[in-house]
Amino acid sequence: LRSLAMNLRYINYDEANDEGAKIIALTSAAAGEGKTTLTYNLGIVLAELGLHVLVVDANMRKASIHELAKITNEIGLSMALSSNKPWSEFVHTGQVENLDVITAGPTPSNPVALLNSKKMRQYINEWRETYDYVLLDTPTVGITADVQSLASQVDSVILINGVERSSRNAVNHAMEVLQMTRCHLAGLVANFVTRNDEYYAYLDSSSYNQAYLPPAKTSGGKSQPQISGSV
């Protein structure tokens, strides 16, 4: 997590402004890949580095950030987007220094409409000016259109893959769906990797992280996956 946190600044890095992506959505190909736990704990690690961080539970169909943060979900993002109150009134603070949390709130009748609303785009722009990093926990790709609604609005998307939790076909499908949104797909994070895995010694997280990047077009028109060692 610390290695990933340090590498976030190089996603969409702008040399002129000396900063990278600030609004980052985390998603996965299937349920149970540790996406939510990773999102919240990555927020804690960034906050411990002295950065002002906001974690947003954008999974309004299956909210769970509030359980990790041990806070109420009676109010949250769904209510903020459907009311005239400012988003700041729905922020939970104090659990971890430098870390703010907006829970998902009560499940709305149409989450896609809220996530794709003008107000959501406004919130994202305001969060970009307020925080060093904003991490959005989103639903899995392919089940609903929620992620597609957000992908093109954020600076970057990170795909979480739990080792032996989803198939290669599921991961490829998730990447294809994300690419159709024309979002910036920063890479893939392998979760549940243990020291017992045969390739652990080669992919030493203390030296670099391997990231699976969007397919590149070859001269024959076919897509080939790219591997980067710098994200």
Q: Which amino acid is located at 100 in the chain?
A: D
d(CA 153, CA 131): 16
- Tell me, what's the pLDDT at 198? 55
Half-sphere exposure of 162 (CA within 13 A, CB side): 16
Q: Which residue has the higher pLDDT, 219 or 138?
A: 138
Contact 147, 180 (CB under 8 A): no
Helix (H, G, I), strand (E, B), or coil: what is residue 17?
coil
23-28 and 99-102 beta bridge pairing: unpaired
DSSP for 154-209, please give it: SSEEEEEEETTTS-HHHHHHHHHHHHHTT--EEEEEEES--TTSTTTTTS-TTT--
pTM as predicted: 0.81
**138-179-202 Cα angle (round to 5):** 80
pLDDT band, very low/low/confident/very high, at 13 (cuts 50, 70, 90): confident
pLDDT band at 100 (very low <50, low <70, confident <90, very high): very high
| For range 72-88, the mean pLDDT | 95
pLDDT for residue 50 is more than 80: yes
Residue 125 has pLDDT above 90, yes or no: yes
Q: What is the pLDDT of residue 196?
A: 67
The model's confidence at residue 9, banded by pLDDT at 50, 70 and 90, is confident
C-alpha to C-alpha distance for 29 and 149, rounded to whole angstroms: 16
Residue 211: predicted pLDDT: 40
Given a contact cutoff of 8 angstroms between Cβ atoms, the answer to whether 101 and 69 are in contact is yes
Whole-number average pLDDT of the chain: 83
Q: Is the pLDDT score of 56 beyond 90?
A: yes
Maximum CA extent, the chain: 55
Residue 205 pLDDT > 50 = no
How do the residues of the chain divide into helix, strand and coil, expressed in percent and rounded to 5? 30, 25, 45
Burial 47-80 (b: 16+ CB within 10 A, else e): beeebebbbbbbbbeebbbbebbebebebbbbbb
For residue 202, pLDDT beyond 60: no
What's residue 98's pLDDT?
A: 96
> What is the distance between the alpha carbons of residues 123 and 83, in angstroms, rounded to a whole number?
13
Contacts (Cβ under 8 Å, ≥6 apart) of 129: none
Predicted local distance difference test score (pLDDT) of residue 143: 67
